């Protein structure tokens, strides 16, 4: 159902922790595959091999790397992630509810919190149907926040 596009970094413990949070969702069938997008960071190839993730090599900014991962995603939906911030327990419930009743709309998965997070939430990733991934993105660079803005993504707190 979901392809996770995870941008690699040299933070191997962070990447491994992020991938560990996906395991139960993969076992249950929510996560179809994980695409790890790297640019030669040490240890990333071994992490992909050990975890069963597909490794895509792409250089450039985060937006270019996300687009490279999205291009090979196989799930009906794409969830973009990075090593940090790591997903927390409970991330699946709002995602599953959105998939069931969101009418195909894109969503931004955000960390809940106090007053400051309402003004500038910590974005975990963007959930978008694979067929709705913007063909022109990133035209001039960008990251998950830029993608969420372009898609007018609904905010999902958990």
Report the 10 Å Cβ neighbour count for 150: 16
pTM: 0.92
In 3-state terms the chain splits into helix, strand, coil percentages (rounded to 5) of: 40, 25, 35
Alpha helices by DSSP H, 8-124: 12-27, 44-51, 62-72, 92-101, 115-119
Question: Any idea which fold 2-157 has?
Answer: Spore Coat Polysaccharide Biosynthesis Protein SpsA; Chain A (3.90.550)
CA distance 77 to 128: 6
Residue 70: which of 100, 102, 33, 43 has the closest Cα? 33
pLDDT in 10s for each residue of the chain, 158 residues:
999 999 998 899 999 999 999 999 999 999 999 999 999 889 999 999 999 999 999 999 999 999 999 999 999 999 999 988 889 899 999 999 999 997 889 999 998 665 444 555 688 899 999 999 998 888 767 899 999 999 999 999 88
Interhelix angle 12-27/44-51, rounded to 10 degrees, is 20
Backbone phi, then psi, for 80, in 5-degree steps?
-85, 140
CA distance 132 to 13: 32
DSSP 36: E
What's the confidence (pLDDT) of residue 121? 63
Backbone phi, then psi, for 151, in 5-degree steps?
-85, -10
């Amino acid at each position: 159902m979901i392809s996770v596009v995870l941008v690699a970094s040299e933070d191997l413990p962070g990447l491994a922790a992020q991938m560990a949070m996906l395991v139960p969702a993969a076992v249950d069938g929510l996560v179809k595959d994980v695409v790890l997008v790297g640019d030669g960071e040490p240890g990333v190839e071994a992490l992909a091999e050990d975890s069963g993730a597909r490794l895509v090599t792409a250089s450039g900014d985060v937006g270019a790397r996300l687009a490279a991962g999205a291009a090979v995603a196989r799930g009906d939906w794409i969830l973009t992630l990075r090593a940090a911030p790591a997903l927390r327990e409970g991330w699946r419930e709002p995602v599953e509810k959105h998939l069931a009743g969101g009418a195909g709309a894109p969503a931004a998965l955000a960390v809940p919190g106090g007053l400051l997070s309402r003004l500038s939430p910590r974005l975990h990733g963007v959930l978008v149907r694979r067929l709705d991934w913007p063909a022109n993105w990133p035209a001039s660079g960008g990251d998950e926040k830029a993608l969420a803005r372009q898609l007018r993504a609904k905010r999902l707190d958990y």
